């Protein structure tokens, strides 16, 4: 039986998109996702002092604002979540919320993390004898791990993380010779860990050069973190056989054709990037990790896979989604801090698993639409608002132009900015004729 809190969430999410902003804020407060202070901050426009921007980046001239919304109806690993999303693209939040409701009513979302270590790379561009270097690395591994944990990563060690091991890889140079690349594996606990692992690698440069008598050419983390993978699984029961087959076919298309895979994965990241932005995380790092992992067998493929298993449709997402709930600007940017609170996450692992789940659900929504009504219907319906504003409609003209564009869309199945401009022109001409 659903707990009181869970029941409360689904009730409070009912009709959420139809509410005005004040009512939405009140509902989120009732759910415990926002405090009174949070509500006042958002109501006042989530204003962040410019002095803070000066601390984040260089040559500051202002702030760039994105809309912040919440995706509703998500129940992940049996727990209801409010999902904050900062994004400019119409229909992402609507599609996520609608699909999450469909999943809540017909299936389940489970997630897990496989491995916890991030990777730092130490490159020796030209090795005279790779085998000898590899032996020396193994000989000194424990000593270097201990020293790095003592001198650089003591904070992580005290939290149960820190540097765990060091491997060495042979990478062909393409000129018949090889480079040696040391991989330093560390558990960054609740940080994304880029700065920490970079410092560890820089620290190890001296000892590595001393022991190997080789020149270290650079030290930097890798964003292809295949040692810290996040998985999400969606199971859907009771769907029509034909729909399941269509979604399976669409998934095969994205597995086999890189042109389709690119757009499929963009759709998955539609669910992930807005959460990363809302929580102050480095979305470029996650994008790089996801795309490089999608190419792990030498060919760019879909990062999700949907298959029929007896009477169920099962979807899986697996990729590195390396992020933090501390570090970077996650706890410095007031809106990011608020969004982390709204998600009620306590660890980086929890947030990463939520991102994977939302990405997979977003993908399911897109595949369902693409294989049934097509993407235009939902997307363009919502995009009409942007077209209306883009055409230059004034506040009082918006409802009329929107209504007329909806009619054109349902009649012709397509719509563009020129339609909006035309409709607005007609409206203004009509109004001018009506004037005495
Ligand atoms: P950070 O440099 O802010 O370090 C995190 C700090 O949090 C550490 O000092 C750590 O001791 C502390 N901490 C407190 N509580 C902790 C906990 N529970 N778990 C772990 N650490 C805890 O942040 P970072 O995560 O090392 O680096 C992230 C930043 O690095 C991001 O801003 C990212 O944009 C940037 N970056 C990314 C790349 C890349 O992805 N290629 C490269 C360079 C820098």
Of the candidates 354, 372, 390, which is a domain's last residue? Answer: 372
Examine residue 49 and state whether it is found in any structural domain, yes or no.
Answer: no
State pTM to two decimals: 0.90
- Residue 192 and residue 336 in contact, taking contact as beta carbons nearer than 8 Å: no
Is the beta carbon of 192 within 6 A of some atom in ligand 1?
yes
Going from the Cα of 349 to the center of ligand 1, the distance in angstroms, rounded, reads 14
Cα→Cα distances 406→303, 401, 402, Å: 34, 9, 6
Looking at residue 2, what is its pLDDT? 46
One domain for residues 88 and 139? no
Examine residue 165 and state whether it is found in any structural domain, yes or no.
Answer: yes
* Among candidate residues 360, 356, 329, 325, the one with its CA nearest the CA of residue 342: 325
Q: Which of 321, 327, 337, 340 to mutate to test the pocket of ligand 1 (most atoms within 8 A of CB)?
A: 327
**CA-196 nearest atom, ligand 1:** 26
Of the candidates 222, 244, 259, which is a domain's last residue? Answer: 222
Looking at residue 435, what is its pLDDT? 78
One domain for residues 326 and 192? no
Catalytic (active-site) positions:
89, 266, 282, 379
- Residue 216 and residue 123 in contact, taking contact as beta carbons nearer than 8 Å: yes
* Among candidate residues 316, 374, 326, the one with its CA nearest the CA of residue 350: 326
Examine residue 45 and state whether it is found in any structural domain, yes or no.
Answer: no
Q: 384: domain CATH number?
A: 1.10.8
Task: Identify the domain containing residue 402 by its residue range.
Answer: 376-434
Going from the Cα of 325 to the center of ligand 1, the distance in angstroms, rounded, reads 9
Based on the structure, what is the number of domains in the chain? 3
One domain for residues 197 and 234? no
Examine residue 22 and state whether it is found in any structural domain, yes or no.
Answer: no
Is the beta carbon of 34 within 6 A of some atom in ligand 1?
no
Q: 310: domain CATH number?
A: 3.90.770.10
Looking at residue 6, what is its pLDDT? 57
**CA-190 nearest atom, ligand 1:** 19
Cα→Cα distances 31→18, 41, 138, 176, 338, Å: 17, 17, 53, 63, 15
Of the candidates 372, 387, 422, which is a domain's last residue? Answer: 372
Ligand 1, atom 30, lies closest to the CA of 194
* Among candidate residues 6, 1, 31, 37, the one with its CA nearest the CA of residue 16: 31
Going from the Cα of 348 to the center of ligand 1, the distance in angstroms, rounded, reads 11
CA distance 314 to 364: 10
Looking at residue 296, what is its pLDDT? 97
* Among candidate residues 307, 288, 158, the one with its CA nearest the CA of residue 239: 307
One domain for residues 260 and 344? yes
One domain for residues 233 and 86? yes
Looking at residue 11, what is its pLDDT? 87
One domain for residues 123 and 109? no
Going from the Cα of 329 to the center of ligand 1, the distance in angstroms, rounded, reads 9
One domain for residues 324 and 356? yes
Going from the Cα of 221 to the center of ligand 1, the distance in angstroms, rounded, reads 12
Examine residue 356 and state whether it is found in any structural domain, yes or no.
Answer: yes
Examine residue 336 and state whether it is found in any structural domain, yes or no.
Answer: yes
**CA-197 nearest atom, ligand 1:** 26
One domain for residues 108 and 237? yes
Looking at residue 378, what is its pLDDT? 67
Is the beta carbon of 195 within 6 A of some atom in ligand 1?
yes
One domain for residues 216 and 312? no
Ligand 1, atom 6, lies closest to the CA of 327
Q: 146: domain CATH number?
A: 3.30.70.420
**CA-221 nearest atom, ligand 1:** 41
Examine residue 367 and state whether it is found in any structural domain, yes or no.
Answer: yes
Q: Which of 160, 328, 337 to mutate to test the pocket of ligand 1 (most atoms within 8 A of CB)?
A: 328
* Among candidate residues 98, 107, 46, 106, the one with its CA nearest the CA of residue 72: 98
> What are the backbone dihedrals phi and psi of residue 153, each rounded to the nearest 5 degrees, phi first?
-110, 30
- Residue 73 and residue 79 in contact, taking contact as beta carbons nearer than 8 Å: no
Looking at residue 5, what is its pLDDT? 54
One domain for residues 255 and 211? no
Looking at residue 141, what is its pLDDT? 98
> What are the backbone dihedrals phi and psi of residue 52, each rounded to the nearest 5 degrees, phi first?
-70, -40
One domain for residues 248 and 102? yes
Examine residue 50 and state whether it is found in any structural domain, yes or no.
Answer: no
Those residues of the chain that have pLDDT short of 50 are: 1-4
CA distance 322 to 290: 10
Going from the Cα of 326 to the center of ligand 1, the distance in angstroms, rounded, reads 7
CA distance 368 to 263: 15
One domain for residues 241 and 318? yes
């Amino acid at each position: 039986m659903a707990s009181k809190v869970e029941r409360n969430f689904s009730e409070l999410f009912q009709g959420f998109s139809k509410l005005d902003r004040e009512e939405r804020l009140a509902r989120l407060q009732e759910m415990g996702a926002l405090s009174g202070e949070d509500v006042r901050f958002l109501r006042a426009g989530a204003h962040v002092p410019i002095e803070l921007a000066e601390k984040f980046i260089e040559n500051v001239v202002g702030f760039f604002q994105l809309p912040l919304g919440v995706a509703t109806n998500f129940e992940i690993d049996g727990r209801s979540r409010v999902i904050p999303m900062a994004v400019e693209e119409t229909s992402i939040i609507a599609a996520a919320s609608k699909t999450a409701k469909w999943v809540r009513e017909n299936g389940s979302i489970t997630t897990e993390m496989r491995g916890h270590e991030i990777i730092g790379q130490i490159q020796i561009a030209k090795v005279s004898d790779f085998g000898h270097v590899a032996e020396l690395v193994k000989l000194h591994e424990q000593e270097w791990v201990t020293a790095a944990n003592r001198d650089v990563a003591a904070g992580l060690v005290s939290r149960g993380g820190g540097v765990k091991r060091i491997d060495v890889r042979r990478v062909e140079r393409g000129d018949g010779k090889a480079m040696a690349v040391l991989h330093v594996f560390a558990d960054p606990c609740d940080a994304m860990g880029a700065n920490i692992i970079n410092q560890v690698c820089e620290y190890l440069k001296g000892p590595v050069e001393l022991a190997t008598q080789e020149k270290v050419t650079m030290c930097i983390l890798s964003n292809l973190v295949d040692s810290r993978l996040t998985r999400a699984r969606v199971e859907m029961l009771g769907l029509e056989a034909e729909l399941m087959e269509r979604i399976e076919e669409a998934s095969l298309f994205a597995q086999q054709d890189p042109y389709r895979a690119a757009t499929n994965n963009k759709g998955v990241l539609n669910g992930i990037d807005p959460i990363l932005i809302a929580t102050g995380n480095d979305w470029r790092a996650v994008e790089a990790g996801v795309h490089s992992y999608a190419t792990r067998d030498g060919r760019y493929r879909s990062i999700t896979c949907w298959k029929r298993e007896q009477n169920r449709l099962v979807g899986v997402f697996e990729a590195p989604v390396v992020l933090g709930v501390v570090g970077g600007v996650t706890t410095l940017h007031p809106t990011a801090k608020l969004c982390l609170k709204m998600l009620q996450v306590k660890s980086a692992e929890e947030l990463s698993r939520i991102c994977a789940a939302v990405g997979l659900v977003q993908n399911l929504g897109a595949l369902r639409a693409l294989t049934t009504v097509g993407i235009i219907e939902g997307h363009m319906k919502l995009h009409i608002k942007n077209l209306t504003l883009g055409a230059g409609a004034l506040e009082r003209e918006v409802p009329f132009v929107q209504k007329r564009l909806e009619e054109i869309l349902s009649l012709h199945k397509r719509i563009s900015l020129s339609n909006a401009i035309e409709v607005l022109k007609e409206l203004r001409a009509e109004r001018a004729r009506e004037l005495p």
